[in-house]
A and B are shown apart, each in its own frame.
Chain A
Amino acid sequence: MAEIKAPAARPLSPHLQIYRPMLTMMMSIVHRITGFGLYFGTVILAWWFLAAASGPNGYAKFSWFAGSIIGRLILFGYTWALIHHMLGGIRHLIWDTGRGFGPNEREWLAAANLIGSIAITVLLWIVGLLAMGGSR
């Protein structure tokens, strides 16, 4: 009778770990990770809207969280993820038109995505902290 043999050790198709990390590839992975993070971050946004609707006590609880060190770290990360995902999305929309696939263009777009996201995030936080200081 036929015996069930162990499957032959066939070569597998190469996956992520076999490639040298490249900027375009890293920005593609980060686009997915930031999208994943933003997904769960919307809970904070929903909490903010509900807190504003619930009254001063509920809003004070949210404000305490948002002003705490952990809260600020999360919100800083959320800001960066949002901006990075938005710039990455614009990059995808450019690609959808068939443009931006050349060797130099795609490297430039990937670098602009990363540098732009960090610069805009820092700028937004400077503006935000100044706005907060001004309202006191």
Chain B
Amino acid sequence: MSTAPAKHIRTPLARVRGLGAARSGTGHFWRQRLTAVANIPLTIAAVIIVITLLGRNQATAAQVLGSPLVAIIVLLFIASTTAHMKIGMQVIIEDYVHDETAKLVLIMANAFFCIGVALVSAYGILKLSFGV
């Protein structure tokens, strides 16, 4: 059928087996757990950071949020939570939206929103860190 040279000796069936209808296997399941586990210590750290900055002025907030350790923790928190919420919202969309076009549009909007929130947040932290 295909004239392209075979890159491996596994049969087509063996290659797709276990990947399911989404063709990505258990990737989402695994990343949801990975980010969930990461979110636990990162959220606890973020809550402590927020509490220490309650009622403080901008200069203090900028100094603390831009300090190396806090900035790195907050950046990890942003990366892990936005990845987690992107997968979570996709599950909700796939559960309730059955119109194929609407589903694709919403899944795309979900990616835009999560990446947008991640980059806006990271931009704020990096700006404070590098003082530009």
Contact = CB atoms under 8 A, between A and B. Distances in A.
**A and B interact physically:** yes
B82 A50 contact: no
Contact of B124 (A35, A53, A92): A53
B43 A53 contact: no
A116 B52 CA distance: 23
Q: Which bracket fits the contact residues of A?
A: 20 to 34
Contact of A42 (B55, B57, B117): B117
Give chain A's interface secondary structure class: helix
B130 to A, nearest CB: 10
Interface in B72-94: 74, 81-82, 85, 88-89, 92
A24 B62 CA distance: 43
A136 B55 contact: yes
Interface of B: 33, 36-37, 39-40, 43, 47, 50-52, 54-59, 61-62, 65, 74, 81-82, 85, 88-89, 92, 113, 117, 120-121, 123-125, 127-128
